[in-house]
Amino acid sequence: MGESLNRKLCQIALEKREQFTQSKTSPSKLYPDWRRSTVIYDAHIENAVSHLDQEIRLRLREVLAALRIPEFDIDSIEMQLTSHNHGEYYKWHTDNGTRETESRVITFIYYFHQIPKRFKGGELVLYPDAVSEMVIEPQNDSLVFFPSHTKHEVKQVTCPSRCFEDGRFTLNGWIRRKLVQVRQDYFDEKIFRPWALKRKHEFVGQSAIRSSANAWSSGLAVKQTEGKKSSPFCEGDLAQVEAMMSRSLLALYSELYRKSSRCAKIDVFRNISQIEFYENYYFLNRPVVLKGPMKASVAVRTWSPEFFALNFGSVPLEITAGRNLLRDYESKFSQTVQTVLMADFIQRLFQNHETNDFYLVARNYFFDNPAFVKLRNDLEPPPDIVNTTDHGHGTVKAWFGPKGTVTPLHYDEHSILLAQIYGRKHFKLIPPFEFRNLYVRDKFYSAVDPEHIEPQRYPGFLGVPVADVILDPGDLLFIPVGWWHWAKSLDVSISATFCSFHVEGRNTSLRGYQS
């Protein structure tokens, strides 16, 4: 930006020191001190704003290309002059998470301070995804741009003199896009009419998940849809309107659910008819627990580690191992695959009281092994719920491991019915419309460990409703498509999952509703 502008901004800040006021942010009962700094808003710093506004517009095309953001119509460029002095900071946040700020597309920060520098800290830390970070030092006369939806924080400043003029200064702000003006009857045509035409057994969850996919992809890049000019519904960027509506619906579903007396509660039955299961749970995309319907099955009555060691000890099988060495062992599944003898696997179970280091999981395809195919007949799931005549690849899967094995928080692209065969297992379930608060990584997984929440790193998760379920041998848990779930074995555990139901196509896959 140059020394002349840099020193001019420094002079403006010092001249207006009496006009700086305590900064504000969205109120939080849990974190009243989420932000500490002082600011002057753009109405009081017109000279500074005019200088930087021109520089930003000159660089905008280059910035859009670097950030891979499509060009858009600018509504305004908003700025504020911010001072961080001794002990001040701004914890993890985004810049466009409210209705008042949703039009912010790009955040920019211009750094300036006294020379020589008289403070330490104050680094800008960007979190472009759930598992990585980028640290940017507050270097004098440097200008930083990033998407406004990116999570970021300002680390605490140490300024020994505590003098105002020795602090960390920024002229920071946001480039806002023009929001689309939608016809009053747009949503009637766009939403309610298509819903009325959908097939009879379309369920709420598919609509919600499809919305989430659109919202997520639109957050990365809003693209013009074909036929935009001829659209009878609205003028402007249809994709942007769809993304906005998707976000609004998800937020609405979340708010209504949280206000319900049934929030974070899962229905539990001992007996349920086929009609009740499909009409009230499968087609409405709601989870349900069935207590004990498989207690009389051969599997629940006879399967145990000793059973497998005695009858299949010499049979090789595929498992995952070395999971403790990998942070993201599920997404790095191929690195954990091992082939061992059943006897050796059982011996590990007895030698390790509690561990997550090894586990036979669904993707090991236990029941596709010719030596174990016949064991499918021992399971005996309810035939009016599960399509027991379907013997296709992957229709039944197994989970077998020691106490302490964990399946991280994730969602599946189809519904499953899980049967607990041996030992106990703890589940946590979260509705699909909460995905924006789950810090998604690797598409299917959440970065949050719901058993050990890090509130400063994942503040959005604090209000998420979580339903807890503990399954005993013989119990069933229906996990609908898109529902987030986490599981932990409370004992040595054997589970089986079924994914073939009495519906068209044997299941309802999320992939069929992704655009």
pLDDT tens for each residue of 438-459 = 999 888 899 999 999 998 999 9
Whether 3-177 and 267-503 share one fold: the answer is yes
The per-residue pLDDT for range 48-86, each reduced to its tens digit, is 777 788 888 989 999 999 998 888 889 999 999 999 999
pLDDT at 184: 47
Share of the chain above pLDDT 70, in %: 84
Count of residues in the chain = 515
Once rounded to an integer, what is the mean pLDDT over residues 487-513?
Answer: 92
Once rounded to an integer, what is the mean pLDDT over residues 279-305?
Answer: 97
Domain boundaries, the chain: 3-177, 186-259, 267-503
pLDDT at 213: 35
Peptide bond into 194 cis (omega under 30): no
* Prediction pTM value: 0.57
- How does residue 203 score in pLDDT terms, banded at 50, 70 and 90? very low
- Which has more pLDDT, 346 or 231? 346
- Which has more pLDDT, 242 or 211? 242
pLDDT at 180: 58
The per-residue pLDDT for range 104-146, each reduced to its tens digit, is 999 999 999 999 999 999 999 998 875 678 999 999 999 999 9
Query: Which residue in the block uniquely carries the two structure tokens 């950030």?
Result: 67
C-alpha distance from residue 162 to each of 14, 81, 123, 159, 171 (Å) = 14, 18, 18, 5, 20
- How does residue 96 score in pLDDT terms, banded at 50, 70 and 90? confident
In this structure, which long-range contacts are made by residues 326-331, counting pairs with CB atoms below 8 Å and at least 24 apart in sequence? Answer: 327/131, 328/131, 328/441, 328/442, 328/445, 330/407, 330/408, 330/410, 330/445, 331/441, 331/442, 331/445
pLDDT at 87: 95
Quote the CA–CA distance of 105 and 73 in Å, as a whole number.
11
**Which is the CATH superfamily of the domain at 267-503?**
Cupin (2.60.120.650)
The per-residue pLDDT for range 151-194, each reduced to its tens digit, is 899 999 999 999 999 999 999 999 999 875 544 444 444 444 44
The three-class DSSP label of residue 241 is: helix
The three-class DSSP label of residue 260 is: coil
- How does residue 498 score in pLDDT terms, banded at 50, 70 and 90? very high
3-177 CATH choice from 2.60.40.1730, 2.60.120.620, 3.10.20.30, 3.60.20.30: 2.60.120.620
The per-residue pLDDT for range 358-406, each reduced to its tens digit, is 999 999 999 999 999 999 999 999 999 999 999 888 899 999 999 999 9
- DSSP-assigned letters across all residues of 39-52: EEEGGG-HHHHHHH
Nearest residue to 26 via CA among 455, 460, 434, 438: 460
pLDDT at 514: 62
Quote the CA–CA distance of 15 and 81 in Å, as a whole number.
12
| Range name among 126-140, 192-206, 318-332 with the lowest pLDDT average | 192-206
